[in-house]
């Protein structure tokens, strides 16, 4: 195998690309939740000053990207590549945001795993020597997702208890070859895993097996165990999906519970905000990672983090045709500055 492959599925990144800048933006409900102080911009009416929800989502992603670029101290033209995606048909949230920037654009579709996929490919671009800077971004918007995937907002549909609430949020990161932020040390791209779940109101159950698959591969490839991470953060399995993930690992004799949580459980107050199983959407893990997590790493709260966004790769059409829901999970290992010695033993 090539020198940067570790085990069957993990890539070690010898240059350890640095998060040189990150930013996010979120909607009103997210701005009223427990992570409200970790968002760079909160729009009180979720419109971001635009005339349609789709344009609002695109503007929100643009805000996150320009914020991340400003913190990295570079203009968009200096990006070697921008990797971005969202949940909208034909990914218009991202392509219209990219239109304003003029950077080389590689559009992604990874459903709610998109921020993990984008970080993986941006890190590979920088680590491989294909430029000094690359960006990763993802977004979702409650109002665009509801009308595209479910029913018009005006219907006020009831939701079963297993559902999650699509986050209005976006996050963006600029990776660089040099700098002082947290570093990406390893990535484990996911494969499509489908255990036959067909209930589109229970995405957590559909995605948990993919998270189990990718995390297991990551631990096996790197020789690390869950205890080697201060935080293992899945994308948006929500409450039910997280329980299933813990159960799958328990069957392997591994206790994942002490340091594993989920972006979908962090972003809302489930007692007070009526979101059933928690948050979801590409913007959930993107906004939580670029706010709460990176701020926590900067403050020394967590040194080594495994960020594992999960996605459900179905569509309304595939669901109507009776197909089950394939899941995917991409894992990105990060390290705050100051643990160089330990890392080198592993990679």
- Number of residues lying near a second copy (CB under 8 A): 65
Task: Give CA torsion, residues 230, 234, 238, 244, to 10 deg.
Answer: -90
CA distance 76 to 110: 24
CA distance 24 to 288: 9
Output 291 or 326, the one with its CB closest to a second copy: 326
Query: Judged by CB under 8 A, which stretch of 8-16, 157-165, 265-273, 299-307 contacts a second copy?
Result: 8-16
Q: Does 75 bind a second copy (CB under 8 A)?
A: no
Report whether 47 contacts 56 (CB < 8 A).
yes
DSSP letters for 234-251: ESS-HHHHHHHHHHHHHH
Output 15 or 257, the one with its CB closest to a second copy: 15
Q: Does 264 bind a second copy (CB under 8 A)?
A: no
Q: Does 223 bind a second copy (CB under 8 A)?
A: no
Residue selected from 26, 42, 72, 111 as contacting a second copy according to rule CB under 8 A: 111
Residue selected from 252, 255, 323, 342 as contacting a second copy according to rule CB under 8 A: 323
CA distance 227 to 251: 17
CA triple 40-41-42, angle to 5 deg: 130
Q: Does 224 bind a second copy (CB under 8 A)?
A: no
Contacts of 233 (CB under 8 A, 6+ apart): 260, 261, 262, 263, 285, 288, 289, 293, 305, 306, 307, 308
Residue selected from 40, 46, 54, 239 as contacting a second copy according to rule CB under 8 A: 54
Report whether 155 contacts 98 (CB < 8 A).
no
Residue selected from 68, 124, 284, 305 as contacting a second copy according to rule CB under 8 A: 124
Residues binding a second copy (CB under 8 A): 1-5, 8-9, 11, 51-52, 54-55, 77, 80-81, 85, 87-92, 95-96, 98-99, 101-111, 117, 120-121, 124-125, 127-132, 148, 177, 189-192, 194, 313-318, 321, 323, 326, 328
């Amino acid at each position: 195998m090539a020198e940067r492959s570790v085990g069957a599925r993990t890539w070690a990144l010898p240059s350890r690309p640095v998060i040189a800048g990150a930013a996010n933006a979120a909607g009103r409900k997210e701005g009223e939740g427990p992570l409200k102080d970790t968002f760079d911009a909160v729009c009180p009416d979720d419109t971001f000053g635009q005339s349609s929800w789709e344009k609002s989502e695109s503007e929100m992603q643009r805000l996150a990207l320009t914020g991340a670029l400003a913190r990295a101290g570079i203009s968009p033209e200096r990006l070697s590549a921008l990797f971005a995606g969202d949940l909208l048909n034909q990914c218009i949230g991202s392509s219209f945001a990219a239109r304003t920037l003029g950077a080389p654009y590689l559009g992604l579709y990874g459903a709610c795993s998109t921020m993990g996929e984008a970080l993986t490919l941006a890190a590979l671009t920088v680590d491989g020597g294909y430029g000094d800077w690359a960006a990763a971004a993802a977004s979702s918007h409650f109002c665009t997702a509801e009308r595209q995937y479910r029913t018009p907002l005006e219907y006020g549909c009831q939701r079963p208890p297993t559902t999650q609430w699509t986050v209005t949020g976006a996050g963006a990161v600029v990776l660089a070859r040099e700098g002082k932020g947290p570093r990406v040390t390893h990535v484990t791209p996911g494969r499509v895993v489908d255990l036959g779940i067909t209930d589109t109101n229970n995405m957590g159950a559909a995605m948990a097996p993919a998270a189990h698959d990718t995390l297991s591969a990551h631990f096996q490839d790197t020789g690390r165990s869950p205890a080697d991470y201060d935080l293992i953060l899945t994308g948006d399995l929500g409450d039910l999906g997280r329980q299933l993930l813990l159960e799958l690992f328990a069957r392997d004799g591994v206790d994942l519970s002490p340091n594993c949580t989920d972006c979908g459980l962090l972003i809302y107050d489930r007692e007070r905000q009526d979101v059933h199983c928690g948050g979801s959407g590409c913007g959930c893990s993107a906004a939580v990672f670029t706010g709460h997590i990176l701020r926590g790493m900067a403050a020394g709260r967590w040194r080594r983090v495994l960020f594992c966004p999960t996605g459900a790769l179905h569509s309304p059409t595939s669901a109507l045709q009776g197909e089950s829901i394939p899941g995917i999970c991409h894992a990105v290992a990060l390290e705050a500055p100051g643990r160089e010695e330990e890392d080198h033993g592993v990679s």
